[in-house]
Chain A
Amino acid sequence: MKVAICALSGDIGGGVDARFGRAAFFAVYDTDASSWQVLQNRAGADSEQGAGIQAALLLAQHGVTAMVTGHCGPKAYIALSTGGITVSLTDCTDVKAALAAYLCGSLRLLTAPDVQSHW
Chain B
Amino acid sequence: MRELVILSGKGGTGKTSVAASLAFLARPVTMADCDVDAPDLALVVRPEPSEPHDFRAGWLAVMSEHICLRCGRCAELCRFDAISWQGAGGGRYVVDPLACEGCGLCERVCTRNAISITSPLRGWWRRSTTELGVLYHAEMDPGSENSGKLVALLRRQARDDTSGQTEWLITDGPPGIGCAAIASVTGAAYVLFVAEPTPSSLHDLRRVAQLVAGFGVPAAVVVNKWDLSPDGTEKIEAFAVAAGLRCAGRIPYDQAFAEAQIAGKSVVGLGDGPSARALEAVWRSIQEAVRSPEAPSLRVSQ
Chain B residues near A48: list those with CB within 8 A.
57-58, 146, 148-149
For chain A residues 63-108, which have a beta carbon within 8 Å of chain B? none
Inter-chain CA distance A48–B214, complex, in Å, is 22
**One of A29-37, A53-61, A111-119 at the interface:** A111-119
Interface residues on A, range: under 10
Tell me which of B57, B146, B148, B211 contacts A116 (CB under 8 A). B211
Known: A48-B57, A48-B58. A119 touches B149 (CB 8 A): no
Assess whether B182 is interfacial by the CB under 8 Å rule: yes
Chain B 181-204 per-residue mask, 1 if CB under 8 angstroms from chain A, else 0 = 011001000000000000000000
Chain A residues near B148: list those with CB within 8 A.
48-49
A119:B215 contact, CB within 8 angstroms: yes
Interface residues on B, range: 10 to 19
A116:B149 contact, CB within 8 angstroms: no
Assess whether A19 is interfacial by the CB under 8 Å rule: yes
Give the total number of A-B pairs whose CB atoms are below 8 A apart: 21
Chain B residues near A119: list those with CB within 8 A.
182, 186, 214-215
Tell me which of B58, B179, B183, B215 contacts A115 (CB under 8 A). B215
Known: A48-B146, A48-B149. A118 touches B182 (CB 8 A): yes
Instruction: Tell me, rounded to whole Å, the shortest Cβ–Cβ distance linking A102 to chain B.
Output: 22
Known: A19-B186, A48-B146. A118 touches B179 (CB 8 A): yes
Instruction: Tell me, rounded to whole Å, the shortest Cβ–Cβ distance linking B284 to chain A.
Output: 30
Inter-chain CA distance A118–B212, complex, in Å, is 12
Chain B residues near A115: list those with CB within 8 A.
214-215
For chain B residues 164-186, which have a beta carbon within 8 Å of chain A? 179, 182-183, 186
Inter-chain CA distance A78–B148, complex, in Å, is 23
Instruction: Tell me, rounded to whole Å, the shortest Cβ–Cβ distance linking A87 to chain B.
Output: 17
Question: Which B residue's beta carbon lies closest to that of A115?
Answer: B214
Assess whether B302 is interfacial by the CB under 8 Å rule: yes
Instruction: Tell me, rounded to whole Å, the shortest Cβ–Cβ distance linking B215 to chain A.
Output: 6
Chain A residues near B149: list those with CB within 8 A.
48
B146:A117 contact, CB within 8 angstroms: no
Known: A48-B146, A48-B149. A116 touches B58 (CB 8 A): no
A116:B182 contact, CB within 8 angstroms: yes
Chain A residues near B57: list those with CB within 8 A.
48
Closest 4 CB pairs of A and B: A118-B182, A115-B214, A118-B183, A116-B214
Interchain residue pairs with CB less than 8 A apart (8): A48-B148, A48-B149, A115-B214, A115-B215, A116-B182, A116-B214, A118-B179, A119-B215
Known pairs A116-B214, A119-B214 / 16 extra A-B pairs, C-beta < 8 Å: A19-B186, A48-B57, A48-B58, A48-B146, A48-B148, A48-B149, A49-B148, A115-B215, A116-B302, A117-B182, A118-B179, A118-B182, A118-B183, A119-B182, A119-B186, A119-B215
